[in-house]
Amino acid sequence: MSLAVKEKTTVRLVFFGAAGVGKTALIQRFLQDKFDPKYKRTVEELHSIENVIDGVKIKIEIMDTSGSYSFPAMKKLCIRNSDAFALVYSIDDPESFEEVRRLRDEVLEIKEDKCTPIVVVGNKADQENQRQVLAEDVMSTVELDWNASYLEASAKDNTNVIDVFKELLQQVNLPSRLSPALHRRRETYPKVLDLGVRRPRMNKTNSCTIS
């Protein structure tokens, strides 16, 4: 791990995805432990939180983006200046996963790094009876072909929301001891450590190493 990575104290996470897939809902659940069922169009919002981990103050910036991407130049700049990406689709909307495919290609092209930290999130897991995107198919594509991480989540039921953020932060080499830091913020999201067992990961055929 390089010295620059070790000394990194500000990390920007970006949530991309088609309109209506629940990007804002995931972020709101993480930051405020609440869920608003009413859809509100997001233009672009930057949230910031700070935690002290092992005596080091870590600033985590979370960018919530619009699904319309009206300003390509701004989007390109956002990708270039960010560290990790959550690509969100809805399990009841196959086209939203196709948008994830397009977004991944765009992120990798702009970052010029095939090892760019990416977590693909299948949101609205609470709507299993309306599922149109099979988890097995997505898992195979994301983890085996793309060498990225995959999770299904539900902002409504607060399922795997914290895991999404843990995965993003671990991929940018922040200390993995995120849970104690979040525990100190338990008045904001008291159930952060009560997430149950996460599904086993698939074995990857390729890997990106950090020297």
pLDDT per residue as tens digits for the range 133-181: 999 999 999 999 999 999 999 999 999 999 999 999 888 876 544 444 3
Question: What pLDDT shows up at residue 182?
Answer: 46
Cα distance between residue 50 and residue 104, in whole Å: 28
Cα distance between residue 77 and residue 61, in whole Å: 15
Question: What pLDDT shows up at residue 170?
Answer: 87
Mean pLDDT value of segment 107-133: 95
**DSSP class of residue 20?**
T
Note whether 15 and 120 are within 8 A (CB).
no
184 has pLDDT over 50 = no
Q: Which long-range contacts (CB under 8 A, 24 or more apart) does 28-31 make?
A: 28/155, 29/155, 29/158, 29/161, 29/189, 30/62, 30/161, 30/162, 30/164, 30/165, 30/189, 31/62, 31/188, 31/189
Question: What pLDDT shows up at residue 79?
Answer: 94
The domain 3-183: what is its CATH number?
3.40.50.300
Note whether 65 and 44 are within 8 A (CB).
yes
Residue with tokens 């953020």: 165
Mean per-residue pLDDT over the chain, rounded: 80
| pTM (whole model) above 0.85 | no
| Domain residue spans of the chain | 3-183
Mean pLDDT value of segment 4-9: 56
**Amino acid making up residue 61:** E
Look at 57-61, 103-107, 123-127 and tell me which has the smallest mean pLDDT.
57-61
Find how far residue 95's CA is from the centre of its chain: 19
Mean pLDDT value of segment 7-24: 89
